[in-house]
Chains A and B, each alone.
Chain A
Amino acid sequence: MNIGLNDYLFLSALLFAIGFFGVLLRKNTLVIYMCLELMLVAVTLALVAFSRYNGTMDGNVFVFFILTVAAAEVAVGLAIIVALFRRRQTVQVDELNALRN
């Protein structure tokens, strides 16, 4: 069987699902963040595969922008996590319940 576009898309969806599960299952904010990044790179795989099989550059250029945005997002997100840790001394999501009640 030849590997085609569908296999890449399936793999991309699978990786996205795994990252989604990480976000649902884990309680540590840092690991949740890592799983978010996993979802992001899963989407880039789909974009690159589409670009390859359509013979256009647009998907590849989009991956460029996704990489840039992800780098900025990680910097800001981790700064927020550090600020949160300074204030509350925890990064576990079930202990960050200040908005409850």
Chain B
Amino acid sequence: MTADLMFYIFSTFTVACALAVVFNRNAVNAAMCFLLALVGLAGLFVLLEAYLLAVLLVFVYAGAVVALFLFIIMLLDVRGGHRPNFTKATVFSATAAAALLAVGLLSLHSRGRIEAALPAGPGVGADLKSYAYQLFTLYLLPVQIVGFMLLIAMLGVIVLSKRHEGLEDVK
């Protein structure tokens, strides 16, 4: 089955890039790996027939968010972006958390089987009209709230990036 093969390819790619985000020493390289992970995820969205969301993910995340990240990394130039080595306490607690999460993932994989057959016909997410219909009927109020939230976020960014004189630094 080509779809299964594609799933394995995309999922392996995405997980590898996500791991590279976490373990990369350089912040710019981490951002680039994040970009690649998003592209892999967009491929998975295409496999799930959510074509519009795949395109939006690439546009909004890869286009805007990662570009913003790279811009801020460039602006701050965080000591060349290099991370110091992990301390012993960090490694210990991370290993404990990793063990717990691994147990959780294993039990999810072995016991959490949800019986779900693929519904017949093309997926509902493939149809652009259904998005518009949902957004302008059932989800009309959330759309307006999100619009206000974007406005507030814009104002917040303007206020935050202004220089405030006479504020005392916390020593």
Question: Chain A contacts of B27 at CB under 8 A?
Answer: 28, 30-31
Interface readout for A1-17 with B: 1 if CB under 8 Å, 0 if not?
A: 11111111111011101
B4 with A26: CB separation less than 8 A: no
Interface readout for B1-38 with A: 1 if CB under 8 Å, 0 if not?
A: 10110010001001100110110000100110010011
User: Which of B45, B86, B112, B119 contacts A53, CB < 8 Å?
Assistant: B119
Question: Chain A contacts of B108 at CB under 8 A?
Answer: 9-10, 13
Question: Chain B contacts of A51 at CB under 8 A?
Answer: 48, 50, 123-125
B48 to chain A, nearest CB (A): 4
Cα(A51)–Cα(B94), bound, Å = 33
A21 with B97: CB separation less than 8 A: yes
Question: Chain A contacts of B98 at CB under 8 A?
Answer: 21
Interface readout for A26-40 with B: 1 if CB under 8 Å, 0 if not?
A: 111011011101100
State the interface size on chain B (CB cutoff 8 A): 80
A75 with B154: CB separation less than 8 A: yes
B129 to chain A, nearest CB (A): 11
From known contacts A31-B27, A37-B65, A41-B38, infer whether A25 and B78 are also in contact, taking CB-CB under 8 Å.
no
B33 to chain A, nearest CB (A): 9
Closest 6 CB pairs of A and B: A72-B153, A55-B119, A22-B22, A79-B160, A5-B116, A98-B170
Q: A6-B116, A57-B131 are in contact. List 6 more A-B contacts (CB 8 A).
A: A4-B116, A21-B97, A21-B98, A31-B21, A41-B61, A82-B76
B interface, CB within 8 angstroms of A:
1, 3-4, 7, 11, 14-15, 18-19, 21-22, 27, 30-31, 34, 37-38, 41, 44-45, 48-50, 53, 56-57, 60-61, 64-65, 68-69, 72-73, 75-76, 78, 81, 83-84, 86, 90, 93-94, 97-98, 101, 104-105, 108-109, 112-114, 116-119, 123-125, 130-131, 134-135, 139, 142, 146, 149-150, 153-154, 156-157, 160-161, 163, 169-171
